[in-house]
Structure formats: C-alpha cells, structure tokens
Structure 1
Amino acid sequence: MSTKNIIASVVFASVAAISGQAMANDNPHLQPVNTPSQVSRAEVLADLQIYRESGLQAVEQSETYGYDVARRQEAQAKYAELRRSPYYATLVKRFGGTPSATTVAGR
C-alpha cells in the first residue's frame, strides 16, 4: 500500500467518524417532547377573545408599549375581571368546551 493510499484511508476514516458523530447529535429520540396541554381548545379560544376584548392585545401591540403604563394596567385589570367572570365560562361553552369550576375561578 502506498503512502497516498494510507493517507487517503486515514482522511476517509476521519471524515466518516466526524460525520457519524454529527448524525448522532440529530437523534430525534434525544429531542424534547411536548407534553399535551391541560387546557382545551375552547378554553384557549375563550381566553383569546377576552384578551382582545379587554384591550390588552391592542396595548401590547401598540407603539407605546412599555410607556403607556396606565393604559396597560387598566387593560390587565379588565382582562383579569373578564377571566374570572361567568362570561369566560359562557365563551368556553360557545366554543364547544365544558368549563370546570376551577377554570373560571382559578385564573
């Protein structure tokens, strides 16, 4: 075996080893697994509706976000009030869910 063949074999083996290591890092079994949510789709949709109606979405997407503290606090208070109200349970039912007693009072 000539020197060129030996060098080529060593280079090939090195590249193969590095490639194998890189492929091992992409093992899908080592990736984080998302656990199922405890919140139903209807609850998410109801929460989104309240988020929009309270004005919190408008405040968080405005150019004055971070500066208009009073407006944000007012929107957060209205959001919290709507979230605790029976209106939230009504929205959950409208979106096809069944709200539990802790869903309305717990948040």
Structure 2
Amino acid sequence: MSSKNIIASVLFASVAAISGQAMANDNPHLQPVNTPSQVSRAEVLADLQIYRESGLQAVEQSESYGYDVARREQAQAKYAELRRSPYYATLVKRYGAEVPATTVAGK
C-alpha cells in the first residue's frame, strides 16, 4: 500500500468520524424528555383499581378482545361510571394516605 493510499484512508476515516459525531449532536430525539406528570400516584392506583373492577382489564386481556364488542362496551360504561363516582375520590384519598414502601425503607 502506498503512502498516498494510507493518507487517503486516514483522512476518509477521520472525516467520517467527525461527520457522524456532528449528525448525532443534531438529533434532538436521542435524549427523551420527561415531563412531570399532572396525575398523582394515588390517582393512578385508584384508576387501576377501577379499571380492574369494571371488568375492562379482563376484556382487554381476553382472547376474544376484538370480537366481544358488547362485553367491552359494558365494561367501558362501568369504568366510566366508576371513574365519575364518589368511589373514585374515596380510593384516591385512601391511596394518598398510604405511606409508600420507599419512604418506610428510607427511615
């Protein structure tokens, strides 16, 4: 290999490395942006309990998910009813009063 070929190879490799680095720095999607949630942990847990109690979880995890439309509509209606009810507020209050396990472990 001649010295011209070696110099050309080194030059090409360095230009490729520099341009690759520049392209990586221009990509805003490399680092995810985490925005703080407007929903409390207690609200999430209360919603999860209602989701399960309404039967919506069972419908969405069943093998007939796309076929049993009537059962899904019933579960969605019950979920919406429970979500609007005072029961939801009671659950949020109950879960909000519970001490998270991480707090207990830190003491």
- Seen in structure 2, the aligned counterparts of structure 1 residues 35 and 67 have a Cα distance that, compared at 3 Å, is same
Deviation at 1:91, TM superposition (A): 0.8
Whole-Å Cα distance in 1 between the matches of residues 24 and 14 of structure 2? 16
| Alignment correspondent of 1:70 | 70
After superposition, where does 1:58-97 map in structure 2 within 5 Å? 58-96=58-96
TM-score (norm 2): 0.77
Deviation at 1:52, TM superposition (A): 0.6
Whole-Å Cα distance in 2 between the matches of residues 12 and 83 of structure 1? 65
| Alignment correspondent of 1:21 | 19
After superposition, where does 1:33-48 map in structure 2 within 5 Å? 33-48=33-48
Pick which of 82-91 and 22-31 moved more: 22-31
- Seen in structure 2, the aligned counterparts of structure 1 residues 28 and 50 have a Cα distance that, compared at 3 Å, is farther
Moved over 4 A (4+): none
Whole-Å Cα distance in 1 between the matches of residues 59 and 23 of structure 2? 42
Q: Which runs of 5+ in 1 are unaligned?
A: 98-107
Q: Which runs of 5+ in 2 are unaligned?
A: 98-107
> What amino acid sits opposite 2:79 in the alignment?
Y
Pick which of 31-40 and 13-22 moved more: 13-22
Question: Percent same amino acid among aligned pairs?
Answer: 66
Count the aligned residue pairs. 95
SS of alignment partner, residue 65 of structure 1: coil
Answering whether residue 55 of structure 2 is matched by residue 55 of structure 1, we say: yes
Whole-Å Cα distance in 2 between the matches of residues 7 and 71 of structure 1? 72
TM-score (norm 1): 0.77
Deviation at 1:20, TM superposition (A): 2.7
